[in-house]
Structure 1
């Protein structure tokens, strides 16, 4: 019985090994045919990458002008308003908040301590602490009054080629727009 079992195992192993043989390289014929077909196809040309122009930075020159989306401020001049003594000081060192438009500021509150009273204005780059006498906005605006509800600024704007006028502006606390 043991010999019969050994014979069956040897015969089964021989059959398995015979089934694994490639039988004259017939098992890879389809792969060889496919590869030959791929080699016979014409080679394609790959176009070179297009040449890109380098990025040119654009400098916006109209930032000091009035926004075209805001209505212009209409000022009726009388002869007593035109004072030849009113003009901005060209030698004064500009403060940081003078580089922004006045319309970009919102009064958001005030603080005080033993050193004084400050208004808190929110600009494009964050909240800033200001006091009376500081300058704000691009039109030489000087802060003249601050309390809990409003901040008053007097701007010096051109009224012609050689004349300047003072224009009052008010920033009020608006709790709905924060």
Structure 2
């Protein structure tokens, strides 16, 4: 019985392979016929446009990214400093000014001797800050602390290069328990 079953399976497999061979020949014939009948229609390429090089006339001028140009700009700023920026440059930096404001999270607030303090989490460390402390990389000074947020005054450059004040805030981040 098993031999008969094996023989039947082998016969079916051979018949299947034989059928594939005729389909393959038929497919190859159709592809050859299509290749003979179809003519490609490719438009000719246009010749390239003529390139006329322009001479660089600013070779003797100051390079736009040179340290010489930067030092001239810094000297000019030092001669006529903006009052907002001048006060920020001459003071000693505080530890939280090394971190961007968006990497800080307010996680609580406390009051000691009637003065409010905020707890800020930065890189999984807690910092206690008060009004007048500096935070963030844009010369941010804490102006107000409430139970739910910390208000910060930042000094940033606008599109024209002028130093302006901008308000920012850190909201209390409550974690689900």
TM-score by length of 2: 0.49
Answer with 1 or 2: which has the greater Rg: 1
TM-score after normalising by structure 1: 0.49
